[in-house]
Each structure stands twice: as structure tokens, then as C-alpha cells.
């Protein structure tokens, strides 16, 4: 995906505003396993995935709890750092070698103050991230593990081939053994 496609999928922009946003985006590459964002730190970068897969997780006792997957076109951001300039609670790990577009949050905030079109883009960006979080919370509360897995397969078929099953089980809020049973049709 190009940076133009990613940005305009969030909210269409006039050419001049789009060019300003593009001007602060730098392309970066990181290897599989790289921690892009770390819990407990104020993260000052916003990323968009050009190519690859990432996951957000928190550490709980002796295990990691995955609560988000990102793929081509998705934003990677600690919303707590982005909105409140406070330390985030999540780690973001790259599950494949990734190509990303990186923007400094301070530069982005500066563009919001200079250009109403970019400010509106930023509002839509935040709104879409909130809706994703709300949908995720609702899905966790409603439906059985089998239903959550079926919905995950329907909405994210490519992720099933690209993400380790242990991470998918964690995302669904079930054990790897339970996921194996569901996949085998025994539950």
C-alpha cells in the first residue's frame, strides 16, 4: 500500500493537505520480532503498516495477552501516548518483517493546528481507532469461543495463515488447547 492510499482510506484529503501529511511520513523497515512500541513509555511516533503484520499485547503474570492484530493499511499507535502524552500499556511486536510509514506525533499535531482538512483527518483517525476498540470489547463479551473464532476467520482469513495459533488463541481469550478443539470441530 502507498502512504496516499492509507491516509485517504482514513479520510479523503485535498491534494495540498495530502502532500503536507506525506511530507512528514518516513518509510522504515524492521525485522520480525522487533518491538515497535513498549509498555510503560510515552511513544511519540505513529506508524502505518505498508507491508507486514503486527500484534499488540500486554503482559499479565506469566503470559502475554494479545488484544489486537494489525496488517497492511492499519495504524500502529499507543492511543494513550498519542492523546494524553502518558505511558502506554501495550507492547507492539512485529510478526513479520515489516515496512512502515512513521510520523512524529508532534509534527502531526502541528499540522492539525495549521490545516483544517488535516485536523478533520486526525479526528476521523481517532474516531476509527475508538470504533475498532469498541468493536473488540463487544465481541469479547458476546458469543462463545467458537463464535468468536468463526467471526475471526470470516473477518481476517489472511491472518490465519500469517499469525501463530497461540497468538490467535490469546486474542480470542481462550487457551491454545481450546482453539485446537474448536478447529477440529470438537467444541
Confidence of residue 139 (pLDDT cuts 50, 70, 90): confident
Confidence of residue 61 (pLDDT cuts 50, 70, 90): confident
Across-strand partners of 65?
58
Average pLDDT of the residues of the chain: 94
d(CA 70, CA 54): 5
Residue 187 has pLDDT above 90, yes or no: no
Number of neighbours of residue 71 by Cβ within 10 angstroms:
19
**Contact of 36 with 149, CB cutoff 8 Å:** no
H/E element holding 28?
Answer: strand 26-30
Confidence of residue 63 (pLDDT cuts 50, 70, 90): confident
Q: Is the model's pTM score more than 0.85?
A: yes
Q: What is the pLDDT of residues 65-118, one digit of tens each?
A: 999 999 999 999 999 999 999 999 999 999 999 999 999 999 999 999 999 999
Residue 186 has pLDDT above 70, yes or no: no
Residue 140 has pLDDT above 90, yes or no: no
Confidence of residue 143 (pLDDT cuts 50, 70, 90): confident
DSSP strands (E only) in 80-164: 91-94, 98-104
**Residue in the structure block whose three cell numbers are 502505518:** 48
What is the CATH topology of the domain spanning 3-142? Jelly Rolls (2.60.120)
Predicted confidence at residue 142, as pLDDT, reads: 85
Grid cell in block for residue 7? 491516509
Residue 8 has pLDDT above 90, yes or no: yes
Rounded to the nearest 10 degrees, what angle do helices 176-183 and 165-172 cross at?
A: 100
Strand order in the sheet with 54-60: 35-37, 91-94, 54-60, 63-70
Q: What is the pLDDT of residues 11-45, one digit of tens each?
A: 999 999 999 999 999 999 999 999 999 999 999 99
Strand order in the sheet with 45-51: 26-30, 98-104, 45-51, 75-76
d(CA 141, CA 106): 36
Predicted confidence at residue 125, as pLDDT, reads: 96
Residue 168 has pLDDT above 70, yes or no: yes
Residue 62 has pLDDT above 90, yes or no: no
Distance of CA 47 to the CA centre of its chain: 9
First-to-last C-alpha distance (Å) of the chain: 38
Rounded to the nearest 10 degrees, what angle do helices 105-114 and 116-141 cross at?
A: 120
Name the residue among 32, 93, 83, 97 with its Cα closest to residue 59.
93
Predicted confidence at residue 15, as pLDDT, reads: 97
Amino acid at each position: 500500500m502507498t502512504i496516499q492510499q492509507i491516509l485517504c482510506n482514513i479520510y479523503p484529503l485535498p491534494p495540498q493537505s495530502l502532500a503536507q501529511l506525506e511530507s512528514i511520513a518516513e518509510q522504515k523497515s524492521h525485522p520480525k520480532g522487533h518491538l515497535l512500541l513498549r509498555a510503560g513509555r510515552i511513544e511519540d511516533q505513529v506508524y502505518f503498516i505498508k507491508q507486514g503484520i503486527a500484534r499488540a499485547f500486554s503482559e499479565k503474570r506469566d503470559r502475554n495477552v494479545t488484544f489486537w492484530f494489525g496488517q497492511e493499511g492499519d495504524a500502529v499507535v499507543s492511543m494513550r501516548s498519542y492523546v494524553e502524552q502518558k505511558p502506554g500499556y501495550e507492547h507492539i511486536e512485529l510478526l513479520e518483517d515489516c515496512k512502515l510509514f512513521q510520523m512524529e506525533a508532534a509534527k502531526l499535531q502541528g499540522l492539525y493546528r495549521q490545516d483544517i482538512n488535516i485536523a478533520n483527518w486526525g479526528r476521523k483517525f481517532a474516531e476509527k481507532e475508538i470504533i475498532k476498540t469498541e468493536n473488540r470489547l463487544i465481541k469479547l463479551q458476546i458469543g462463545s469461543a467458537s463464535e468468536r473464532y468463526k467471526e475471526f476467520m470470516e473477518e481476517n482469513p489472511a491472518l490465519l495463515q500469517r499469525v501463530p495459533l497461540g497468538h490467535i488463541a490469546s486474542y480470542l481469550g481462550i487457551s491454545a488447547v481450546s482453539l485446537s478443539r474448536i478447529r477440529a470441530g470438537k467444541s
